[in-house]
Amino acid sequence: MLEDIKPRQLVKVTAADEDGTQKTFEAAVRFDSEVEIDYYRHGGVLQMVLRNKLALSQKEERQR
């Protein structure tokens, strides 16, 4: 499902109370841009930056 998420999309949420009672409702996704979705997928801004730097470094090493 996360692969299909879009900024400001409405999604269905099911929440369960301590006694198991479930309530379903819609909520707006609070990603305002595709970049924010990428940050989330990578576990945060820092992790995304580090992964990108590592990938660039590995690419440069292969080109040598």
Q: What is the pLDDT of residues 28-63, one digit of tens each?
A: 988 888 888 888 888 888 888 898 899 999 988 898
Q: Judging by beta carbons within 10 Å of its beta carbon (0-12, 13-18, 19+), is residue 28 exposed, middle or buried?
A: exposed
Q: Supply the pLDDT for residue 48.
A: 86
Q: Which residue has the tokens 């409702």?
A: 25
Mean pLDDT of all residues in 11-17: 95
Q: Over 70: is that where the pLDDT of 2 sits?
A: no
Q: Over 80: is that where the pLDDT of 3 sits?
A: no
| Dihedral sign from CA coordinates of 54, 59, 62, 64 | negative
Q: Over 70: is that where the pLDDT of 26 sits?
A: yes
Name all contacts of 9-14 with Cβ < 8 Å and 24+ positions apart.
none
Q: Over 80: is that where the pLDDT of 4 sits?
A: yes
Ramachandran angles phi, psi of 28, nearest 5°: -85, 130
